[in-house]
Amino acid sequence: MKVSHILYPTDFSETSARALDQAVVLAHRFNAKLTMLFVETPHGADPHNPNKEFPPLDELFAYLREQGDKRMDDADAPVVSGKIELEEQVVRDTSPAHGILSFADAYDVDMIVIGTHGRGQIAHFLLGSTAEKVVHGAKVPVLTVGRGEDRFLLNQGVYKRILIPMDFSEACRFSMKTSMEIARRFEADIAFVHVIEPVLNHEALMTGHTAPMQMDTQTEFRSRAALKRFAEDLLPDRYEFFLTSGVTHQEIIRVIQSFEADLIVVANKGWSPIERFLLGSTTEKLIRKSPVPVLVVRNPKAEEDQEEDNQPPGRQPKSR
């Protein structure tokens, strides 16, 4: 996993400030350049700028530099020894998400660290959030930081426990590689969680047992064996494994709390717009509701395969 350039988009909000702490520490751990980015849009809501005029770029550059330097020198910030390469950029675009993604593509960004605002349900349904649009469009891992528990700061800027949801997909295996590298750099403990959907059949209705583990005592044994077969070459020497049944994102959040995880790494399998419109994905629900930061990792090969599957009839797939 190569991380030499981390992008930190900001809108100067409280949640953006929380994300900066993690961006600074990750840049230090990976010896990466950190770019602070502000995307100025002509329709951004600013009560001090009723005419929707672009502010002077010199002022924005100065403010970005001040925020970055201040946070690294703040006594309450995570402990970081040494300096990192820090730069600030201001771009103008039609939307924050488009500006962030365009910048990431153009300047070889390896990871994006972004705050989430917990937009209300109606507003989210109509518009979505910038963070979620970035997650769906980014070709690199995206770390989303919300308003939940700040164990990262309590741990002095260290990820101590990392949780990885498992669905045994190729995308999940790819995300495991990223998880292992972060765990190695922070010397973090690893846990896996596999959620099985409840069973609703005649036997379940008769016995009242809808969890597969209640109906078959060998389920956990077989799940552990499946994990070893699936990713034995990636597994650390020590790890924990949680097997549970229920609504996937709710069960993952429950395990986050019981394991006291301070980071969760999930695979983004690239749901289609129709699937997201009708149901939403587990990843989206975790971004909105997780009490700890969520690192979303996309498998580039899976995305290429999905693009080929979505090609109109008669169009040749992209050559590799």
Q: Give me 272's structure tokens.
A: 């289609």
Shared-domain flag, residues 294 and 169: yes
- Annotate the chain with three-state secondary structure: CCCCEEEEECCCCHHHHHHHHHHHHHHHHCCCEEEEEEEECCCCCCCCCCCCCCCCHHHHHHHHHHHHHHHHHCCCCCCCCCCCCEEEEEEECCCHHHHHHHHHHHCCCCEEEEECCCCCHHHHHHHCCHHHHHHHHCCCCEEEECCCCCHHHHCCCCCCEEEEECCCCHHHHHHHHHHHHHHHHHCCEEEEEEEECCCCCHHHHHHCCCCHHHHCCCHHHHHHHHHHHHHCCCCCCCCEEEEEECCHHHHHHHHHHHHCCCEEEEEECCCCHHHHHHCCCHHHHHHHHCCCCEEEEECHHHHHHHHHHCCCCCCCCCCC
Count CB neighbours of 261 within 10 A. Answer: 28
**Dihedral over alpha carbons 149, 152, 154, 155 (to 10 degrees):** 140
Determine, yes or no, domain membership for 203: yes
pLDDT digits 0-9 by tens, 81-123: 567 788 888 888 988 899 999 999 999 999 999 988 644 444 4
Residue position matching structure tokens 């583990």: 213
167: domain CATH number?
3.40.50.620
Same domain, yes or no, for 221 and 279?
A: yes
Residue 171: per-residue pLDDT: 85
Structure tokens at 241: 């494994």
At 204, is the pLDDT very low, low, confident or very high (cuts 50, 70, 90)?
A: very low
Q: What is the pTM of this model?
A: 0.79
For residue 288, tell me if it sits in a domain.
Answer: yes
Residues 199 and 81 placed together within one structural domain of the fold: no
pLDDT at residue 14 in the model: 73
* pLDDT value of position 141: 95
User: Any bridge partners for residue 34, and if so which?
Assistant: 6, 86
Q: Structural domain of residue 52, as residue ranges?
A: 1-147
Which pLDDT value is given to residue 199? 55
Q: Could you report the per-residue pLDDT of 113-150, keeping only the tens digit for each?
A: 998 864 444 444 444 578 888 998 999 999 999 876 66
More confident residue, 143 or 54: 143
Q: Give yes or no: residues 138 and 158 share one domain.
A: no
Q: How many structural domains are present in the chain?
A: 2
Cα–Cα distance, 83 to 80 (Å, whole number):
8
Residue 139 and residue 164 in one domain = no
Instruction: State the pLDDT at residue 316.
Output: 46
183/294 same-domain check: yes
The reply to whether 137 and 164 lie within a common domain is no
Does residue 134 form part of some domain? Answer: yes
Choose from 39-43, 100-104, 193-197, 220-224 the range with maximum mean pLDDT. Answer: 100-104
CB atoms within 10 A of CB 192: 23
Q: pLDDT tens, 235-265?
A: 988 999 998 888 889 999 999 999 999 999 9
Say what the pLDDT of residue 184 is. 92
**Over 90: is that where the pLDDT of 320 sits?**
no
